[in-house]
Chains A and B, each alone.
Chain A
Amino acid sequence: MPYLLLLLLASQPVVADLSSARQAELLNMLKHDCGSCHGLPPKGGLGPSLMADAIADKTDALLFDAIQNGRAGTAMPAWRPFLNAEETHWMIQRLRQP
């Protein structure tokens, strides 16, 4: 059931009501914490490239699941404790911007 809820959340359109302070925090996180494995810009490192063209064929649901729950068998951890659904969507949208 919680998983179903996640899927539902994942398909929700993004509501851009994150405070600008939180957006700045998320951007810093994207650059520096995600960037420690994915690079800055995120052209890949230990983790794969997250550049807009590299993730163009990945669905939002897949990216959402990877960020929230991590990827088993890889070094990608679950970021659920630090990112709610809305923030995760914000991150994905940000990555998709060319």
Chain B
Amino acid sequence: MNLKLWRCLIVITGWLLWSALNAEPRASGDLGLVIERETGSVLIINTTTASTLSRIDNLGDLSHASVVFSRDQRYAYVFGRDGGLSKIDLLQDKLVKRIVQSGNSIGGAISQDGKLIAVSNYTPGGVKIFAADTLELLADLPAEYGDEHKRSKVVGLVDAPGQKFVCSLFEANQIWLIDAKNPRQPQVTKFEDIGAQPYDALLTPDGHFYAAGLFGEKGLALLDLWQPENGVEHILADYGKDDEQMPVYKMPHLEGWTVAGDLLFVPAVGQHEVLVIDQRDWQLIKRIPVAGQPVFVMSRPDARQVWVNFAFPDNQTVQVIDVKDFSVIQTLQPGKAVLHMEFTPRGEAVWMAVRDEDKVVVYDTDSFRQSAQLPARKPSGIFFSNRANQLGL
């Protein structure tokens, strides 16, 4: 090799070493993703500095999307409307792998051991289970029901202790408890006639109860995961049954809860109310009047406050409920079309996606003042990496 080439190599090696030494290592505990629904992209953000680190493009149709995180908080799995499942490396700002696993999907979950990703699909209706590392398909569970083997849309898919997943079937009125200990041959326990049209569901943070909200009738379908053999119980079936039902311009979502003592806060379907349920006896103890039809009812991590956003045409408003006495203590107007909220891990701040103003705003949850603002293109969901260690998220 001639001298010139040697010199060249030495310079390049030196430069590489210098870059490596100077590169700021990135931790992942205070990262998150913001979905940009119209452009099919996501922003990787940092919640400590309230800043955007990068944008990842080409993720397909994210008009409805949700995200789960690997337990090492390095990877985010994005579930898109078009059946796309994308694995993003939060440390290297890149798309690791993307597959289109169905025609139309709604959400997903990561298993207790972090090794499986389950996706709930609308078309064709069912659940698919993938290896978290390679996204290899391990199992396909068509949501067939009835004698004609029709397929139902699957909603409210969550992970549960014991390497299980739980989901609900919108048209079939069923809840499925999926044991994925053997992921290539998962065992499904089906609960039928659980109530009309389950639209979404939540797992209590201790993994004890799975509650599916019903669209076709009043109340919730409740499964005690400590005693699944007892079957599904229909709770709150009679509340407000004589009230006039209002048209629902956006489906509520169930993913927020609060466990202040034993209280569960959920949106009332078709009513301007947040329902408070006592988890000890599953009785409705309060109907809190609010500014519109709630979409997300989410508790601050310390469960002192519950923040509520609303369906069209009241989606410019966000209200805060004080759990101490169930009073609405703040009515905020963060901007036009507030689609989602996410609390920082210990709840000093909340991030809100303001779709029609192309921005994400950060509010201090003590002073209720805006502390930061980031540009984002038609933002919808916001997901922080501390979800990695929370059951049901």
Contacts and interface: CB of A to CB of B under 8 A. Distances in A.
A77 B215 CA distance: 13
A48 to B, nearest CB: 10
Interface stretch (B23-31, B130-138, B248-256): B248-256
Interface residues of B, number: 27
Interface in A16-49: 28, 31-33, 35-37, 39-41, 43-46
Contacts of B82: 43
Contacts of A39: 61, 63-64, 81, 104
A43 B378 contact: no
Interface of A is mostly: loop
Given A43-B82, A44-B123, A46-B122, A36 B63 contact: yes
B248 A45 contact: no
Interface in B19-52: 37-38
A78 interface: yes
A82 interface: yes
Contacts of A78: 247
Given A33-B312, A39-B61, A45 B215 contact: no
B38 A31 contact: yes
Contacts, number: 58
B106 interface: yes
A41 B312 CA distance: 19
A8 interface: no
Contacts of B170: 46
Given A33-B312, A39-B63, A28 B356 contact: yes
A77 B248 contact: yes
A40 B61 contact: yes
Interface string B202-243: 000000000000010000000000000000000000000000
A5 interface: no
Nearest to B106: A45
Contacts of B312: 33
A81 to B, nearest CB: 8
Contacts of A28: 356
A37 B64 CA distance: 8
A32 B355 contact: yes
Contacts of B277: none
Contact of A75 (B61, B215, B355, B378): B215
B337 A43 contact: no
A77 B249 contact: yes
A6 B58 CA distance: 43
Contact of B313 (A36, A45, A82): A82
A23 B81 CA distance: 26
B153 interface: yes
Contacts of B251: 36-37, 46, 75
24 contacts: A28-B356, A32-B337, A32-B356, A32-B378, A33-B249, A35-B63, A36-B63, A36-B64, A37-B250, A39-B63, A39-B104, A40-B37, A40-B38, A40-B61, A40-B63, A44-B104, A45-B64, A45-B122, A46-B122, A46-B153, A75-B251, A77-B248, A77-B249, A78-B247
Interface of A: 28, 31-33, 35-37, 39-41, 43-46, 70, 75, 77-78, 82
Given A36-B251, A45-B104, 10 more contacts: A31-B38, A32-B356, A32-B378, A33-B249, A36-B250, A39-B61, A39-B63, A43-B81, A44-B123, A78-B247
